[in-house]
């Protein structure tokens, strides 16, 4: 349909002949008049057809429509405040059935998430999930805009690796001709290679893979990672400040473009965070959480999910803020390439970003001095030989640099208050899901 109008544009279209295409959402087949609610990728509209007194072929076609059938409709657009759905309707003149749907839908509003994921192409027709995908697109658009404004270069790192990207844990190993390969857990090493290559500042939005058998609301075996790395930093504070800018710009854009739709479909108001975000050293966070009556199982380790929720409540009560940077992680729970503090070798120049009680980011200043890096590799009980390809990046001159990795689906999930990342994914991959 070359002259097809999307439904969202009809409100600003003058009365007259229009053509639309979409799915049958509702059919009310009454004796004297027929009402069809048609939905396309942009919204829904009411189509009305007064049933003639005598037999009528068009009325019979309308009566035969099943929920989910895809149709093309031509009719007269009419603005009428009495019409509940958007104050407009289309008076039907012609209808073509492009594809008739099976009459019994395999899913309904009360269907479980697992079954809805089996039929994701139907599930995604729901207006709130359509909006979710548009929100995700806007977030990525704005992030790219900010990066390009700041002279970042986009990279596409390989997802097949000859050796593990960070550790031997949570790896998918696969046959690769006469040898084997690993699916990339992270573009971390390649981001740092770009710093030694003189690219200065880079970003990537792409898939990563974790062989993690977790069945939580925030874990997946394949997800989209948002990564950036920047040279010429003084500390991890520079990375944190840039991430604040990315998040504030994206959330502001989403609120401006979709705020009213999000409020209508999700019942929540998008809140634009103030800067700077609160910052709390991890050791202090443990004390705060314990004072609130919860003791994290490992006091020398990271916060567990309940600890993250408790620190979020503290930050909301103290600062009225949804975000908090947890900083100064101990070296024993951070990778070997995180730079350590000059005044305390036991702590790293790293952070996690917590939003609404869930971790969305790990970031740090990286160690760029080869002699220090080699020492930290050995301190972790790793072998230099197995990391030579990575260590070579720093044997020929490397600038001070740092960056972060952030989960896109977690950002979307938390922004829209979705119950889990299965809802925030186009197609979810987990330990027991490889289809559709």
pLDDT in tens, 227-249: 999 999 999 999 999 999 999 99
| Averaged pLDDT for residues 318-342 | 96
Question: Same domain for 347 and 255?
Answer: yes
Q: Where are the alpha helices (DSSP H) in 96-235?
A: 113-118, 120-123, 127-149, 188-196
Confidence of residue 166 (pLDDT cuts 50, 70, 90): low
pLDDT of residue 168: 57
Question: Same domain for 272 and 155?
Answer: yes
Query: Among 49-53, 137-141, 157-161, 168-172, which is the least confidently predicted range?
Result: 168-172
362 is in an annotated binding site: yes
409 is in an annotated binding site: yes
- Which residue has better confidence, 408 or 86? 408
410 is in an annotated binding site: yes
Domain boundary among 65, 99, 133: 99
Residue whose C-alpha is closest to residue 393's, from 194, 233, 228: 194
pLDDT of residue 287: 95
Question: Same domain for 63 and 189?
Answer: no
Question: Same domain for 93 and 154?
Answer: no
3-state secondary structure (DSSP) of residue 35: strand
CATH number at residue 396: 3.30.930.10
pLDDT averaged over every residue in the chain: 94
Confidence of residue 212 (pLDDT cuts 50, 70, 90): confident
178 is in an annotated binding site: no
pLDDT of residue 162: 87
pLDDT in tens, 382-423: 999 889 999 999 999 999 999 999 999 999 999 999 999 999
CATH number at residue 11: 2.40.50.140
Residue whose C-alpha is closest to residue 397's, from 92, 193, 213: 193
Residue 429 lies in a domain: no
pLDDT of residue 134: 96
pLDDT of residue 165: 57
Residue 272 lies in a domain: yes
Domains in the chain, number? 2
Question: Same domain for 18 and 165?
Answer: no
Question: Same domain for 142 and 236?
Answer: yes
| Averaged pLDDT for residues 418-434 | 94
Residue 411 lies in a domain: yes
126 is in an annotated binding site: no
How many percent of the chain have pLDDT more than 90?
87
- Which domain covers residue 222, as residue numbers? 121-415
359 is in an annotated binding site: yes
CA 306/CA 354 separation, integer angstroms? 12
Whether residue 90 has pLDDT greater than 60 = yes
Judge whether 156 and 120 are in contact, CB under 8 Å: no
pLDDT of residue 53: 81
361 is in an annotated binding site: no
List the structure tokens of 254: 């989403």
Confidence of residue 169 (pLDDT cuts 50, 70, 90): low
Q: E-strand spans in 184-329?
A: 201-209, 222-231, 279-281, 323-327
16 is in an annotated binding site: no
Residue whose C-alpha is closest to residue 139's, from 298, 363, 360: 360
pLDDT in tens, 176-190: 999 999 999 999 999
Q: Where are the alpha helices (DSSP H) in 33-75?
A: 57-63
pLDDT of residue 167: 57
129 is in an annotated binding site: no
Question: Same domain for 290 and 396?
Answer: yes
pLDDT of residue 199: 98
Residue 422 lies in a domain: no
Q: Where are the alpha helices (DSSP H) in 70-109?
A: none
Whether residue 164 has pLDDT greater than 70 = no
Residue 259 lies in a domain: yes
pLDDT of residue 216: 85
Judge whether 275 and 244 are in contact, CB under 8 Å: yes
Whether residue 9 has pLDDT greater than 70 = yes
Q: Provide CB contacts within 8 A for 134, sequence distance 6+.
A: 258
């Amino acid at each position: 349909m070359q002259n097809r109008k999307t439904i969202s544009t009809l409100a600003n279209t003058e009365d007259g002949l229009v053509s639309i295409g979409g799915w049958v959402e509702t059919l009310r087949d009454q004796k004297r008049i027929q009402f069809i609610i048609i939905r396309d990728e942009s919204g829904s509209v009411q189509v009305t057809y007064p049933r003639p007194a005598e037999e009528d072929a068009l009325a019979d076609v309308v009566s035969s429509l099943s929920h989910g059938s895809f149709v093309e409709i031509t009719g007269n657009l009419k603005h009428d405040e009495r019409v509940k759905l958007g104050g407009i309707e289309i008076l039907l003149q012609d209808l073509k059935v492009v594809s008739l749907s099976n009459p019994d839908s395999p899913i309904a509003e009360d269907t479980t998430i697992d079954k809805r994921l089996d039929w994701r192409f139907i599930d995604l027709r729901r207006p709130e999930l359509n909006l979710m995908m548009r929100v995700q697109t806007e977030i990525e658009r704005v992030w790219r805009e900010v990066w390009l404004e700041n002279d970042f270069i986009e990279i596409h790192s390989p997802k097949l690796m000859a050796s593990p990207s960070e550790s031997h844990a949570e790896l998918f190993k696969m046959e690769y001709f006469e040898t084997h390969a690993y699916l990339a857990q992270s573009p971390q090493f390649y981001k740092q290679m770009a710093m030694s290559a003189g690219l200065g500042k880079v970003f990537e939005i792409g898939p990563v893979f974790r062989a993690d058998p977790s069945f939580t609301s925030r874990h997946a075996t394949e997800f989209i990672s948002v990564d950036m790395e920047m040279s010429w930093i003084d500390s991890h504070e520079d990375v944190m400040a840039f991430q604040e800018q990315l998040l504030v710009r994206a959330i502001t854009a989403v609120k401006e473009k979709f705020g009213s739709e999000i409020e209508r479909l999700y019942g929540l108001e998008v809140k634009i965070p103030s800067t700077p975000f609160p910052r709390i050293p991890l050791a202090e966070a443990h004390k705060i959480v314990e004072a609130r009556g919860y003791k994290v199982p490992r006091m020398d380790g990271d916060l567990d999910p309940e600890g993250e929720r408790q620190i979020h409540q503290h930050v909301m009560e103290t600062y009225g803020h949804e975000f908090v940077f947890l900083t100064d992680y101990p070296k024993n729970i951070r990778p070997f390439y995180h730079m350590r503090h000059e005044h305390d070798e036991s702590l790293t120049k790293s952070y996690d970003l917590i939003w609404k009680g869930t971790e969305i980011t790990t970031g740090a200043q990286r160690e760029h001095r080869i002699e220090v890096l080699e020492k930290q590799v050995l301190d972790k009980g790793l072998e230099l030989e197995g990391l030579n390809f990575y260590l070579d990046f720093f044997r020929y001159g490397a600038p001070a640099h740092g960056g972060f990795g952030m989960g896109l689906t977690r950002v979307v999930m938390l922004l829209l208050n979705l119950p889990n990342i299965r809802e925030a994914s186009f197609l979810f991959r987990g330990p027991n899901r490889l289809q559709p």
